[in-house]
Structure 1
Amino acid sequence: YPRFRYDQLMHLLWKNFLPLTLALLMWYVSMPITISSIPPQA
């Protein structure tokens, strides 16, 4: 069971999880807009 110091945990959070979270947030915001802007293929 690895132990993390608080500064290591914060470094991991800011360097890895924050960009991932922002990328997923951008994905979830942009996908409905993209899907709704495509005209239906009739």
Structure 2
Amino acid sequence: MLSVWPRRGGAGHPVRCEVIGDEPVDGVVASDHYGVLADLRY
């Protein structure tokens, strides 16, 4: 998990973000492109 500071002039302020989909399920990884989940505060 990564915490970040708000930036001036941004559309939203990231509160939290993490990489998702990088864990294998039954020994298989769904893709070589992982997802990013971000919570934004407006």
TM-score range, shorter chain: under 0.3
Larger radius of gyration: 1
Relative CO higher for 1 or 2, CA cutoff 8 Å, sep ≥ 6? 2
Q: TM-score, normalised by structure 1?
A: 0.18
Tell me the TM-score normalized by structure 2. 0.18
More strand by percentage = 2
Q: Structure 1 or 2: larger helix share?
A: 1
